[in-house]
Structure 1
Amino acid sequence: MTPSGPTVSTHDVVDEAGRRRTFAVISHPDAGKSTLTEALALHAQVLTSAGAVHGKGNRRGVTSDWLEMERARGISITSATLQFGYGDTVINLLDTPGHADFSEDTYRVLAAVDSAVMLLDAAKGLEPQTLKLFDVCRYRGIPVITFINKWDRPGREALDLCDELTERINLQPMPLTWPVGVAGHFRGVLDARTGEMVRYDRTAGGATVAPEHRMDADRAKNEEGTDWIAAKEEHELLAASGGEFDHDRFIDASATPVLFGSAMLNFGVRHLLDLLVELAPRPTPRADVNGDTRELDSPFSAFVFKVQTGMDRAHRDQVAFARVCSGKFERGMTVTNATTGRPFATKYVQQVFGQERSTVDEAFPGDVIGLVNATALRVGDTLYDGKPAVKFPGLPSFAPAHFAIARPKDLSRAKQFRKGVDQLESEGVVQILRSDRRGDATPVFAAVGPMQFEVATHRLEAEFGTAVALDRMPYSIVRRLTDPAQRNLIDSSRRGEVLQRGDGALLALFTDQTALGVMRRLHPELAVEPLIAST
């Protein structure tokens, strides 16, 4: 039953949703996502000092990188959620892994946000993973703000970077700030909307907010000379060629506001945070699996986009991260899991700030809540209160490209091994494939990228005390088998085998395209199809 308490009106729910900004920070590896995440929190005054991913001495790691492997490698390998207030606005910020091996995690996060901040390295511009992420945002209709980072280091020309957005991905840049000084000689930025220059003071290691000094155009020209003149001319040139800010084009994802700065030095970060509050989209009604719209003021509903275990080493509990889509959430509610039809009690619910957590009593559309002890929940589950029932579209499982047979090195730890494998499967760390031929004792790990294997084996040993041996399999081609009666055709051919994924899909694995081609010639009736993201 829902706990008794004051009734929240439809107007209140819609107003609360309007205060939310839920966005992801995405980019190619090493562009500075986690550093920017901390800089944003620093400017919101929820941190007193920021660390660096590659911290040295007594400098701590970033708040959002809390896994041991993340701190050791200096990269993000799992998404992280940070919720904090900024003025009257509630920020739900999701930091994502940039490495291509963890694309599934990033794409699931993108299903849970209303906008994205895309970082570009000033020296590298659009990189392969950046291109893929832009495509995903465009496919989902997610508005993107572009932050060109590391302007304090040598890099490319600003106009060149903006031209690349237009020429390579047909995304019109709309610069709201423009750098004064070339990359590596960062003097400040031109604020396009006021015509002023903003100059920044360096702080020790960028650990505190960089003081800002505003000056009018005449003073900027007198003090910065040719750097200011060049900035004005370049910005005017881009504005004249279609780069004037148009909010409608930003919302429909055909153009992107562009800002320049340095997350490491906290230069330009306040501009970005203020822009998100002012311009980023608020939560809107979502469509369910039937295409019907779930209005914001409908009874509570949410979907699970991530499951994580081991955030609290003292308890090793499981947390399911859910995006609230409608209604007011109140701690203690008993809701229904649309996947199983079973009730789920929400006694332990937390707001998450990296690894730090605090109890949540209520939440509104746009918020991300952490449901603790959520062993019954899986990625893609929908939770709802009352009637009628609702189910949102599931989240994608991508075609794996790497396969390995997993087995415990110590057979006496077989029980812990099976428990750990089930845990990894529920979180989506790797896909788990099984067959009667191989049995439950030797499941097959299937991964988009090989680094997922490292994460899986590390966690099995660190969290479940079971060292794992992986025997790589020779398969590189995967197809979905749509006719279960044909399974033996492949299993008996010695050219491949069929394994079942946790969602029931039958995956036909082949060593290469030649093996698949031979099977098709021998059996024209073979019912296999390319494996696309499933829901």
Structure 2
Amino acid sequence: MSAAATQPFETRRTFAIISHPDAGKTTLTEKLLLGGGAIRAAGQVRARGERRRARSDWMKIEQERGISVSSSVMTFERKGITFNLLDTPGHEDFSEDTYRTLTAVDAAIMVIDAAKGIETQTRKLFEVCRLRDIPIITFINKIDREGRHPLEILDEIQEALALDVSPMSWPVGMGSDFFGVYDQINHRFMTSSEGRGGPLDTVKEVSGLEDENFRDGIFDTVLADLEENVELGGAGYPEFDREAFLEGHLTPVFFGSALRDYGIDQVLDFIDAYAPAPHSQPATGGRTIRPEEDKVTGFVFKVQANMDPKHRDRIAFVRLCSGTFKRGMKLKHVRAGKPITVSAPIFFFAEERELAEKAYPGDVIGVPNHGQLRVGDTLSEGEEIHVTGLPAFAPEILRRVRLSDTMRVKQMRRGLEDLAEEGLVQIFKPAIGTNWIVGVVGVLQLDVVVDRLKQEYQTEIGFEPVMYNTARWAECDSAQKLDKFLETNRAHVALDRDDKPVFLFKNAWEVSYVGEKNPDIKFRETREIVHTDE
């Protein structure tokens, strides 16, 4: 718990929010920032201009479409704890950015819509968290609206995700009969002075469900349902166990309404008290980087170009793994084998920044650079080491780039390279032909590429279909066999931005057929991003 912290990194809580689109993630993010004192007014409150927007969605296309398409980092302090909140894209077309962001967190909040339960994207992201043993806190949102029965949702989480659930609170009614939330751990009733459906503004200390201070004014049918939920929940679900939570076997469940402020302080208090401090990080050579080590190490899990369009900057998001970072330090850029001086590191508050004089394991700092740093790069205080575990995924949609104005080839290529550096798209240079091919996970990414090249690089592009619809990285234990295979099939071959060979396939049948005909060649759907040379 936070009270026992003896080193600065032990007061860090670095976590992400994962959800299906429309589950209310952006509103929850905003309310956590509000509850943490990081902002003074939520987006729903009438405010001037763009301040009405959720602070984590700062890109123009995000504001126009009302979706998150880029991961953001927000740092704030509350009760002596430093919270690093990594907001992730909710839309499945941007899952690759989300997967990489999950390599930089120690815990995650899984947001579930009370009416819809577990949805496709939630399940996918949960599985990524499970692979990385990331502890999960569940927030069942929108209980102020009509939704499914609480026990039904809890059973679904337990069965569909093979995850024990431990309810920390219960809704007191739902929809038109919503009176508030009963915190059964701390015996509190969170309600509204406005009555049913009102925003949270009243917290009553109660001795239990029989307390008249709690029961006053609540419908008998609502009380009967709540009593049954608490009784059945106590018998059917395990009590909260921190060890099981940290191992990823059990999730504490909070019922709430981000829109009406229910459950926000509960979640923040829980993260403070029970979420893990920064964990160890795997690295090459079987090495494990521990946060208590003296020497600084960190890795780049994201690059964002043009956060400030006036300055054409690139910011590398670096998760610190060990040591005490100080502004002005010289760190080794391991891939390049060169030292870099980190003279203007920054902490983030969405698009706003402040200089980071000191930072500790678990913190995320921004390192401005001119393209030297890429996703997967490691920075160290001299050690030849590469942090592992950052994935790249084979795209399922391929398109040839069509440039409207051939005089802007240079701008187009720079823009596409910047966006590929961010991880928004992958770019491939065919062995035959000159037109680049763009690879994405979802079609919405293509819209974002067109929009950002127009807005940030003043370059208009379109896309044309190609005869291929998927790509796989080609690998072989024998370099000679791989070279022969690639030369024989040049029409299907391209290089990615790291000059790794990629084989382009027309369909799933061809993937299987070529694989069977060439058993020595491995066709990878994923590859680990570890840059070991220039």
Answer whether TM exceeds 0.5 for this pair: yes
Cα offset for 1:374?
4.7
The match for 1:366 is 362
The 8 Å contact of residues 351 and 357 in structure 1, kept in 2 or not, is answered as: yes
Partner of 1:478, secondary structure, is strand
Cα offset for 1:21?
0.4
The 8 Å contact of residues 474 and 524 in structure 2, kept in 1 or not, is answered as: no
Q: Distance in 2 between matches of 1:301 and 1:184?
A: 52
Q: Distance in 1 between matches of 2:456 and 2:450?
A: 10
The 8 Å contact of residues 51 and 60 in structure 1, kept in 2 or not, is answered as: yes
Any residues of structure 2 matched to 1:114-263 within 5 Å, and which? 114-201=106-193, 210-216=200-206, 217=208, 218=211, 219-224=213-218, 225-263=220-258
Cα offset for 1:65?
0.1
Cα offset for 1:14?
6.0
The match for 2:375 is 379
User: Alpha carbon RMSD of aligned pairs, Å?
Assistant: 2.4
The 8 Å contact of residues 474 and 502 in structure 2, kept in 1 or not, is answered as: yes
Q: Cα 1:58–1:343, aligned 2, differ >3 Å: closer, same or farther?
A: closer
More off after superposition, 233-242 vs 112-121: 233-242
The code of the aligned residue for 2:33 comes to A
1:275 to 2:276 alignment: no
The match for 2:532 is none
CA deviation digits over 1:444-484, x for unaligned, max 9? 10111111111112111111111112112132243332213
The code of the aligned residue for 2:148 comes to R
CA deviation digits over 1:284-342, x for unaligned, max 9? 23222222222223211111111001211321311111111101111111101112211
Cα offset for 1:406?
1.1
Cα offset for 1:345?
1.4
Partner of 2:228, secondary structure, is helix
Q: Cα 1:291–1:229, aligned 2, differ >3 Å: closer, same or farther?
A: farther
Q: Which runs of 5+ in 1 are unaligned?
A: 1-11
The match for 1:305 is 301
The code of the aligned residue for 1:408 comes to L
Count of matched residue positions in the alignment of Structure 1 and Structure 2: 513
More off after superposition, 46-55 vs 228-237: 46-55
The match for 2:478 is none
The 8 Å contact of residues 13 and 364 in structure 1, kept in 2 or not, is answered as: no
Q: Distance in 1 between matches of 2:46 and 2:285?
A: 47
Partner of 2:58, secondary structure, is coil
Match of 2:525 among 501, 517, 531: 531
Any residues of structure 2 matched to 1:416-495 within 5 Å, and which? 416-439=411-434, 442-482=435-475, 483-491=482-490
Q: Cα 1:368–1:519, aligned 2, differ >3 Å: closer, same or farther?
A: closer
The code of the aligned residue for 1:443 comes to W
Any residues of structure 2 matched to 1:375-414 within 5 Å, and which? 375-386=371-382, 388-414=383-409
The 8 Å contact of residues 35 and 53 in structure 1, kept in 2 or not, is answered as: no
TM-score computed with the length of structure 2 as normaliser: 0.91
Cα offset for 1:74?
0.4
Q: Distance in 2 between matches of 1:230 and 1:533?
A: 50
More off after superposition, 372-381 vs 480-489: 480-489
The 8 Å contact of residues 26 and 116 in structure 1, kept in 2 or not, is answered as: yes
1:39 to 2:37 alignment: no
Cα offset for 1:525?
5.6
The code of the aligned residue for 1:419 comes to R
1:351 to 2:347 alignment: yes
Q: Distance in 1 between matches of 2:153 and 2:47?
A: 29
The code of the aligned residue for 1:511 comes to K
The code of the aligned residue for 1:290 comes to G
Q: Distance in 2 between matches of 1:56 and 1:451?
A: 30
The match for 1:101 is 93
The 8 Å contact of residues 330 and 341 in structure 2, kept in 1 or not, is answered as: yes
Match of 2:11 among 19, 22, 32: 19
The code of the aligned residue for 1:129 comes to Q
Partner of 2:528, secondary structure, is coil
CA deviation digits over 1:96-152, x for unaligned, max 9? 001111011000110000000000001101000001111111110000000000111
The 8 Å contact of residues 53 and 61 in structure 1, kept in 2 or not, is answered as: no
Q: Distance in 1 between matches of 2:367 and 2:51?
A: 31
The match for 2:479 is none
Q: Cα 1:435–1:447, aligned 2, differ >3 Å: closer, same or farther?
A: same
The 8 Å contact of residues 54 and 74 in structure 1, kept in 2 or not, is answered as: no
Q: Cα 1:58–1:23, aligned 2, differ >3 Å: closer, same or farther?
A: closer
The match for 1:316 is 312
Partner of 1:223, secondary structure, is coil
Q: Distance in 1 between matches of 2:264 and 2:194?
A: 13
Q: Distance in 1 between matches of 2:246 and 2:60?
A: 38
CA deviation digits over 1:158-197, x for unaligned, max 9? 1110000111111111011111112443211111213332
Partner of 1:83, secondary structure, is strand
Q: Which runs of 5+ in 2 are unaligned?
A: 476-481, 530-534
Cα offset for 1:264?
1.2
More off after superposition, 179-188 vs 145-154: 179-188
Q: Distance in 1 between matches of 2:335 and 2:194?
A: 52
Q: Cα 1:88–1:395, aligned 2, differ >3 Å: closer, same or farther?
A: same
The code of the aligned residue for 2:42 comes to A
Q: Distance in 1 between matches of 2:43 and 2:225?
A: 34
Q: Distance in 1 between matches of 2:507 and 2:216?
A: 66
Cα offset for 1:61?
0.7
Cα offset for 1:393?
0.5
Q: Distance in 2 between matches of 1:413 and 1:54?
A: 42
More off after superposition, 508-517 vs 145-154: 508-517
The 8 Å contact of residues 431 and 495 in structure 2, kept in 1 or not, is answered as: no
Partner of 1:312, secondary structure, is coil
Q: Cα 1:339–1:245, aligned 2, differ >3 Å: closer, same or farther?
A: same
Cα offset for 1:366?
0.6
The match for 2:74 is 82
Cα offset for 1:199?
1.5
The code of the aligned residue for 1:433 comes to F
Q: Distance in 1 between matches of 2:142 and 2:335?
A: 45
The 8 Å contact of residues 304 and 380 in structure 1, kept in 2 or not, is answered as: yes
Partner of 1:290, secondary structure, is helix
Q: Distance in 1 between matches of 2:506 and 2:47?
A: 43
